[in-house]
Amino acid sequence: MTHHANGTSDGQIRWGILGTGFIAELQTQDLIENGFTVQAVGSRTLESSKAFGSKFSIPAAHESYEALASDPDVDVIYIATPHPFHHANALLALNAGKHVLVEKAFTMNAREAQEIAELAESRGLVALEAMWSRFLPHMIRLREIIGEGTIGEVRKIVASHNQNLPKDPAHRLNDPALGGGALLDLGVYPVSFAFDVLGTPETIRASASMTATGVDRQTAAIFEYADGQQAVLDCELDAAGPNRAVVIGTEGWIDIEPTWYNPTPFTVFDSLGNVLERFDRPVKSRGMQFQAAELERLVKEGATAGAILPPSESVAVMAAMDEIRRQIGLSYAADKEVAE
């Protein structure tokens, strides 16, 4: 097994953390616990940077995102700001010659995603979407099982992401100005999973209901594919659910246990319901180290795109989310901005 497959690092590549919120803490913890070098942190205030830096014993704390991006001791920048800022933050880092790991949803829309992908490619840099579930051991095994034909031809996937999240109208999740709504925060997981297993859909049908603040409270989508396959996807931000996923094939099915996008067991059944395989491998830390290991692998190989999640697929995922939003009548300020 190669070193990246177990989610560890030799520590040679130096990371900078852009943004100091909850998700930044989770990623930084996983980096440190698995041998990655976290060299610097940057926030909009020095106070916030220093607090984060002291919590994780990070050598450098910068008073701005610009200062972090221009730090010569940083090779890769992890972008952990709210969705509407990913685009500008990623362009800042890429223009400073840094590779980027960009939190999902990758951007607000496909236009922004395409600009990041094109800039990274032109500079020979990695721009990897932090869709961490793609790189987890159970997802790698799941793709192998499907590829081996164990469950026959895949006909359908069903995937949910329903959480009971904060109700405060000013909270990021409920604020249109901060890219709020169930789709961008939660729905991105099932949408990305559909792309992972079945690829880009031919057509999309979506429906939603909205919050009082004007973002989507709950959204459901059916992706339809050329040979009749379907992905049935749903998300909601004010009611929790089991968060299971299932892949149904002509010869059997795979049941991924709660919470399916976290490190979790799954069971493979034949079409009669007999168990063919049970995958249950404990993972160290939360599991966010695997995406970081993939980014380091790409950097060391001099590649800008990997097979598991190339930038072109992050763009295609955003395009599908754009279409869902078009159908449910959800638009953001970023949709109105014309590309420079």
- For residue 97, give the DSSP letter: T
Active site includes 104?
yes
Cis peptide before 127 (omega within 30 of 0): no
> 327: which 2 tokens?
């159908």
CA distance to 238, 270, 280, 295, per residue, from 307 (Å): 35, 28, 24, 12
Residues 302, 89 contacting (CB under 8 angstroms)? no
Beta-strand ranges (E) seen in the chain are 14-18, 37-42, 60-62, 76-79, 99-103, 127-130, 154-162, 203-210, 216-224, 230-236, 245-249, 252-256, 266-270, 275-279
Neighbouring C-beta atoms of residue 144, cutoff 10 Å: 10
Cβ atoms 184, 83 nearer than 8 A = yes
Q: State the Rg of the chain over Cα.
A: 20
Q: Are strands 37-42 and 60-62 parallel, antiparallel or unpaired?
A: parallel
Per the CB < 8 A criterion, the answer to whether 234 and 190 are in contact is yes
Residue of 50, 55, 98, 104 marked catalytic:
104
Residue listed under structure tokens 């995406």: 291
Strands 252-256 vs 245-249: parallel, antiparallel or unpaired: antiparallel
Residues known to be catalytic: 104
